[in-house]
Amino acid sequence: MSSESSGLVEAGEQSGLPSRGSGEAYVTIFDFGFIPQGLALHDSLLEHAGDFTLWVVAMDEPTTLFLNSLGLPSLRVLSLDDVETADLVEVKSTRSRREYCWTLTPFVFDFVFERAPEVGRVTYVDADVFLRTDPGFFFRSLEASGKSVQITEHAFSADIDSSAEHGKFCVQFLTMNRYGSEAVRSDWQGKCLEWCFGRVEEGKFGDQKYLDEWPRVFSESVHIFGDRGRFLGPWNASRFPFSEGAVYHFHQLRLDFQGTEVSFGNYTLPSPLVKNVYSPYIALLREKAKMMVSLGVEPSSQISVKTKRQKLVSGISPVTDPIYARLRALISRH
């Protein structure tokens, strides 16, 4: 490498900006069952994100093999065996697959930084996130703040606000610069190794509730992205018009790729949102599943067979959850 290009890399690293010619670095985590969502995320980046690399931490060997077989130039696959540390392996048996994905999340920034010294910042993105416009506004906000970490709020609709239990902030789209975010990354890694479970317990929930303390504990490093209506999900469907959303998080959306069933999870969604946002995305997921079949790979159904009790609970949850939320808010005021 010439001295001139070395200087460019160093300048990019020190500023936390992507190095010249490298574009933005994104990283996500998913297993074989979520390949359609991961490929849809990649499509949205191709359409809106300009020059980029999407790094994928593949949770199983079939995912690694399939993604590598596609030969996508803007996608780099990291197998779990290649990135796991001794500390991660030690806690792996104590976590479910979902909980272990959450435990990995604080480490994915280092996974990329260690393998790509030219990368100045990394953005973690949930695999079921989809970009609807150019995300440049998000990075300009971080740069203008002069800070090294940027997080987004859930911005729950009032009737289903569970920020007290699940966190004010959502991990969904989270950027860390190589320099200036080291203390945040280290703290988050240590806490998730110690405790990262899919239950609410003593002010904790998964990897996510830890973010609530960041603006206070790491005030010089952490910036809260301000335009809440740009990052949307089913939890704020009644609060913001879907047309405002630049990024949509299809949380709890699951499809049966062997049939026609679609599950929206515990959410009740407005008809215009389903028609204009969900339906095109669902069609894209089915397109990705068909592509897998054409390559001799059968996609997994994302909808498990439920017991009668589970069906009853999932059926009444859209009604009972808002009632519970209102009762909780009423109790907290007295």
Q: What is the pTM of this model?
A: 0.86
Domain covering 3-303 in this structure, CATH number: 3.90.550.10
CB of 125 within 8 A of CB of 28?
Answer: yes
User: pLDDT tens digits for 133-168?
Assistant: 999 999 999 999 999 999 999 999 999 999 999 999
Half-sphere exposure of 219 (CA within 13 A, CB side): 2
Using alpha carbons, select from 30, 28, 29, 36 the residue that is nearest to residue 301. Answer: 36
User: pLDDT tens digits for 172-192?
Assistant: 999 999 999 999 999 999 999
**Tens digit of each residue's pLDDT, the chain (334 residues):** 333 333 333 334 444 555 434 599 999 999 999 999 999 999 999 999 999 999 999 999 999 999 999 999 999 999 999 999 999 999 999 999 999 999 999 999 999 999 999 999 999 999 999 999 999 999 999 999 999 999 999 999 999 999 999 999 999 999 999 999 999 999 999 999 999 999 999 999 999 999 999 999 999 999 999 999 999 999 999 999 999 999 999 999 999 999 999 999 999 999 999 999 999 999 999 999 999 999 999 999 999 755 344 455 655 655 565 665 555 555 555 5
Q: How much is the pLDDT for 280?
A: 98
Residue 316 CA to residue 81 CA, distance in Å, equals: 41
Strand 149-153: give its sheet, edge to edge: 75-79, 52-58, 24-30, 121-125, 169-177, 149-153, 222-224
Q: Cα–Cα distances in Å, from 20 out to 24, 25, 51, 118?
A: 10, 12, 10, 9
CB of 257 within 8 A of CB of 301?
Answer: yes
User: pLDDT tens digits for 192-207?
Assistant: 999 999 999 999 999 9
- Annotate 226-235 with b (16+ C-beta within 10 A) or e (fewer): eebebbbbbb
CB of 203 within 8 A of CB of 209?
Answer: yes
